[in-house]
A and B are shown apart, each in its own frame.
Chain A
């Protein structure tokens, strides 16, 4: 019995083992070509391309997590190009024809398929597997190409018919696989750059640094740069395309043709340094410090490297601000117009023609408007690059037509001299004493700086602290009139409460009218503001013309002889009144 039981147990074990192994064997079936190929492509480690004819071998390898072209030179690989290759390869249509051993039986040789020793080859290698494709001739309809494929996992070679699109890959050049820009630091991360230019005569360095998203020169002078021009330059540098590689590993210190330059880009606390010089053919050749590989750029790249001191300098000459300025003067010959900030932070405007200065309250909006016009002037061309201040330096000598003095709150004076370059109104030579700058500006300073007191005068036309309770609007010719007060027309009255001028035209008021730009403008209406306090009536009268335009209605003050244009809200108000009385 025991023996029988033993035999049964043994039999069970044997059958069980047989079942296990048979099931295991079934499960360990052979992987399909697709599975192996996709697995290899997903875990790709190297790609080798042996192009047709005498082209140089291209080898791309994965080193840690980066892809590098290692042959025919060393350079970072273009990840997108590689991904494109992998994806197209993954979806390549492939038809297996014969194993190579079968060819003999069929009476064929490998050369019948156009496959030879020096045929173009692509090798892809993953962690465990490798594929080698040797390409022959195209099929009759040219949709496919014959290929001898060596499958390392099977250690067999097969003739395949592959999609002819694959031929585009073995016809590529090394440059098609490389990252075609040489700067790795992204634009937003760059916070320092410098260029050192050297030719037979001179060597100079220009450096810039970023502080709080604004760029400044640090060498050869300190000063503000034009941030957007610097960004444009950086974008051009970062986007500069390599057009070729110099495989002639000649000595880097070979004497240069006309010039050489060193570019340093710093970002993420790391500095990339590049050296450039001109080739005999006039192209620009460069190389990075850490590699020997030389790359070639278009000739136009040189324009990116030169004249930074001038190109990148801030084009804004004026930064007038009411917060910082204490006194602002405009001088033309004997005439002086002065804007002064009082102790109470109010502004006054003064004018003199060589004699005593008369002052009035100033309108801050007009001052701001004027400052903005000045601030919007941009430099067309710098004529002098000396920015280090030498107080004893009086600057260039020329006879200015206008002089602008700006005294800041800390009593620092800066003067600007304006002179006309040609007969043209628009092109002016401007000197900035403070920064020892001379530049050309295309701006009509003749119109801008020919100002007078009236241009800045405060817009109030009613006497100060004048309270009125009633307004009379009268047509002088027809004698038709209308009385406005808080009870009869509260809205209209409310608008009149803010009765100011829009702009002052002149102080040439006449009783019947006024001359404006050669035209006679007669007065048509009378507007009287009446104050009936303390049983006496005081009035403040104005004469008004008829409406001259959508934004033009002239008024005149008989007392101070000022002529002014009214603002839109008053014009609309008066238009309504006019309709009511006519």
Chain B
């Protein structure tokens, strides 16, 4: 009985538990049914625990603000943040995942059915910019296909993409290790850094791209550059389409691109093409080929014009790389193949250009010049059967007929040379005939560093080169002309393109026959040109001209040395002044305009400062001069002179210890000081025993030439009728100082001493004898005959004053004091006439004076214009 009760109890208890459980389950299921869509918030501690459980990673830190889920498989979160140890962060503002709670029931079903993320931001320490995905949506559309949609901003580009991703079932069963998010973030960060700079330079509008991975993925994308970045772009692509096909093992891919309206903007140069087609094929990562088809290219800016269409093909296969250029137009016919195998490079093919039809020009020296002109240019690259050594794989030749570069005179050119296996160039035979120039030579070009060397020899007519060189060449050439033979030059020029400043070197010798430089004619000259790191040196030891020879050296320090000097020069030889006034420039020409000399021996050296440098010193030079034959200075003939002119810190000093004028010997020293606000000059001149007649003849000649005019119209009054060259001597000394701009302001002193038998007849103070005789002084005959005139004078403020003018004759003597105004030409003097006052014996002289009543009674006053003054006799009170 007990057992039955126990069993019944047990059975009853079990039944109750089962029923209760089923009831609870039913309640639970009903709750689930009604609450299947209700979102339940997961507490933070629990969500963190779950995250760490499902996503174990020591490299990443994951956090989020809000996590909710619903029984129907919906999961919502906000502010999800994933960061790695390098500081790279991925932030998702809002996200939604839809899971399939019944995916475990079928292997054909995925757990995740759809996802949607909004505002995904990617930050990296390595780049300043960020990737923002405004929305990312994906959902299953068919059994194994996922639809996805992305809207993103990346490196100034706006990307919208849609597509289908296929995940085969087999993939689902294989438990693949998910990629490390940290690695993905790092890779994105690194790649972004690499391309950031380039992406900033590119502007894209309406770029439609389809990417197809065999049976795996299709992507349709549209890319546009954000408006604010357009202005900074150097490369603009408008209306382009692109197709990329990739094999599903990712080993092979083909890309086809059609770029409509491509323009490239580089530093004042715009290059545009209306359409560029490209086809890229990549095989197994070891070989590739790229084909680019360019339609016409339009250039504007520094280079202007149109380039004809051409195709460029680049390929690499089996260790061989090729770049091929093809063009078949009327202007440009070419097939060139550059090849690199085992590190050795060679070129084969040809290039045929019709220069006249070539439409490219550039701006040079302020003018627009056609880059090429003429009949033909033919370049050929062949196998080199006669190699200098094994490394010279390519033989090339250039043949140009009636060809012109930059509108230089047309000419014929021929070059033949070799290319080394690193494409270093050796042109061993070059020949060119252009305009009036015929040159031959050789050329070498190496790479890295880009060392070059030209060796050129031949006749070169400088103006032929003016379009190739800067304006400085044109300015230099315009002063030269070559009446007959063109100069012959032999030059060697070497350097490194793009090397350190001043690295180029030039050495050359020019043999010129007749040449004209400004007004200077040379019948033969040999000029050595030497350019090194420091200076350009132009030297000649024999510039021959009809009147002698010149040796000269010009040294121009190179600009990069920062030298304060523009030019160091030296000059030695016979300088044909009259035939070469302008060779040293206008300033010099003006300075010597009053000097008439066929040639002068000159030895000079000096330096001219750099005008662009504020610290540059003044011009310095020393010039030693010696006459070869008589010269004329302001019309005055100087038979002989030796001297030196120096200039240093704005002071010009001249010292001529020896000069001969009108048979008199003299010396001259002068100093011109330009340091102050006004030029100040000092002069010391002495001339002794010059022939009066000769000197006055020179003055007459000078007057006729428009120089001195101190004698007025009565020139014959200054010269004796007999024209006896020994008749009369004149000595003059002068020491004065004053401003050059106004010689009348000179101050100083001097002495004028004239010895001449018939001074009275000289028109000095209007003929003296005439003046005296008009005074009606009862004097014996011969009293007005004078033979010596001594005038010690002072110069001051336009006035020449004298205290003791002595005019002496055999019988009488006139002493005078007074002044002569140099500006107005007026004289004011008081003179005393002494009879027999000129006896040199002192005692007798005094006695005579005592006996001479005239000198005690009267004084002679001369006033008025010096050419015709008024003579008066003043009687004294005694």
Interface residues of chain A, those whose CB is within 8 Å of chain B, are: 1, 4-5, 8-9, 11-12, 15-16, 18-20, 22-24, 26-27, 31, 34-36, 38-39, 41-43, 79-80, 83-84, 86-88, 90-91, 128, 186-188, 227-229, 231-232, 235-236, 239, 315-316, 319-322, 365, 367-369, 371-373, 375-376, 378, 442, 444, 547-552, 568
Contact = CB atoms under 8 A, between A and B. Distances in A.
A15 B29 contact: yes
Contacts of B384: 372, 375
B326 A232 contact: yes
Interface string B480-494: 000000000111100
Contact of B335 (A27, A86, A232, A549): A232
A372 B417 CA distance: 8
B141 A376 contact: no
B246 to A, nearest CB: 13
Contacts of B429: 369, 373
B388 A368 contact: yes
Given A12-B25, A372-B416, A228 B141 contact: no
A188 B245 CA distance: 20
A128 B396 CA distance: 63
A91 B221 CA distance: 8
10 shortest interchain CB distances as A-B pairs: A549-B490, A371-B386, A90-B220, A550-B492, A232-B335, A8-B22, A228-B349, A83-B243, A376-B397, A42-B218
Contacts of A24: 102
A571 B833 CA distance: 85
A86 B26 CA distance: 52
A80 B162 contact: no
A402 B74 CA distance: 97
Contacts of A367: 386
Contacts of B88: none
B644 interface: no
A93 to B, nearest CB: 11
Contacts of B18: 5
B15 A1 contact: yes
Contact of B328 (A43, A236, A316): A236
A128 B142 CA distance: 10
B220 A38 contact: yes
B19 A371 contact: no
Contacts of B19: 1, 4-5, 8
A87 B15 contact: no
Give chain B's interface residue range (CB within 8 Å of chain A).
35 or more
* Residue from A90, A186, A236 whose CB has the most chain B CB atoms within 10 Å: A90
Main secondary structure of the interface of B (DSSP, over half): strand
26 contacts: A4-B19, A15-B30, A20-B102, A27-B98, A31-B147, A35-B139, A38-B149, A39-B147, A80-B257, A83-B208, A83-B210, A87-B222, A91-B220, A91-B222, A228-B337, A231-B324, A232-B335, A236-B326, A319-B385, A320-B386, A321-B385, A322-B386, A442-B399, A550-B507, A551-B455, A568-B492
Interface in B242-267: 242-243, 245, 256-258
A375 B385 CA distance: 8
Given A39-B147, A444-B414, A375 B382 contact: yes
Contacts of B315: 188
Contact of B208 (A88, A227, A550, A552): A88
B149 A34 contact: yes
A228 B258 contact: no
A372 B334 CA distance: 23
B350 interface: yes
Main secondary structure of the interface of A (DSSP, over half): helix
B428 interface: yes
B418 interface: yes
B324 A552 contact: no
Nearest to A2: B15
Given A34-B149, A550-B455, A552-B490, A9 B22 contact: yes
B727 interface: no
B36 A23 contact: yes
B198 interface: no
A375 B335 contact: no
B201 to A, nearest CB: 24
Contacts of A320: 385-386
Interface string B143-186: 00101010000000000101110000000000000000000000
Given A19-B32, A35-B141, A84-B243, 18 more contacts: A42-B163, A42-B164, A79-B245, A84-B208, A87-B221, A91-B162, A128-B142, A186-B289, A228-B350, A235-B328, A236-B326, A372-B395, A376-B397, A442-B401, A547-B509, A550-B491, A551-B457, A551-B492
A368 B100 contact: no
A41 B219 CA distance: 10
B838 interface: no
B387 interface: yes
Nearest to A568: B492
Contacts of A239: 293, 311
B457 A23 contact: no
Contacts of A15: 26, 29-30, 33
Contacts of B26: 8, 11-12, 15
Contacts of A316: 382
Nearest to A24: B102
A211 to B, nearest CB: 15
B508 to A, nearest CB: 5
Contacts of B221: 87
